[in-house]
Amino acid sequence: MKGVVFNLLEEAVTRSFGPEIWDDLVDDAEASGAYTSLGNYSDDEIVQLVAAASVKLDLSAPEVLRWFGENAMPILKERYGVLFEGHPSARNFILSVNSIIHPEVRKLYAGASCPFFHFKEGEDGAVLMSYQSSRKMCDLAHGFVKGASKLFCEEVNIHHHSCMNHGAERCLMELKWRH
């Protein structure tokens, strides 16, 4: 996992809970705590940090990932504002993840292994989003979708029809926006 993701987690935790809590998480996770944005770090290290946050914040690990995704989005908007420009809706923004967002990320962070999503447009604006990654971080995607919708002042309902964390071959999420 690229260091930029660890940097984002640190920023999100520090903004919400303060730097001491981040230091505690690093200690509890026995993580290094020093990440350069372009560096590559073991996926296990983020899993350990999420596990430490789960204990500290009294949330399940999936809830921590969702919290992280949701709270990372405003920070991403500050840093990569151009990726948010020109989109009339959160739906439109999310649908650009394979064609624009992650390709840009790969240019900025050589070697980034961003997931590819399959999208199917459902009835009345709903989107079926399927995800497959050895990292099984569908809850991070869930949080990103939630956080992006908030930034567009929209409310989204996300239903997980199937999940890799529950033995499915891929995750399938249905996204429905209420305007």
Binding of ligand HEM at residue 17 (CB under 6 A)? no
Residue from 6, 22, 67, 109 binding ligand HEM (CB under 6 A): 109
Count CB atoms within 10 A of the CB of residue 19: 11
Q: x/- binding map, residues 20-59, to ligand HEM, per CB under 6 A?
A: ----------------------------------------
Shortest reach from residue 20's CB to ligand HEM, in Å: 26
Binding of ligand HEM at residue 171 (CB under 6 A)? no
Q: Quick check: 176 and 161 in contact, CB under 8 A?
A: no
> Which residues does residue 118 pair with via DSSP β-bridges, in sequence order?
130
Strand, coil or helix: what is 135? coil
Binding of ligand HEM at residue 90 (CB under 6 A)? no
Instruction: Give the H/E segment covering residue 133.
Output: none
For helices 61-79 and 138-151, give the axis angle rounded to 10 degrees: 50
Residues numbered 142 to 161 that lie near ligand HEM (CB under 6 A) are 144-145, 148
Cβ neighbourhood burial of 132 (10 Å; 0-12, 13-18, 19+): middle
Q: Which residues bind ligand HEM (CB under 6 A)?
A: 1-2, 4-5, 76, 80, 83, 94, 97, 101-102, 105, 109, 112-115, 133, 135, 137, 140-141, 144-145, 148
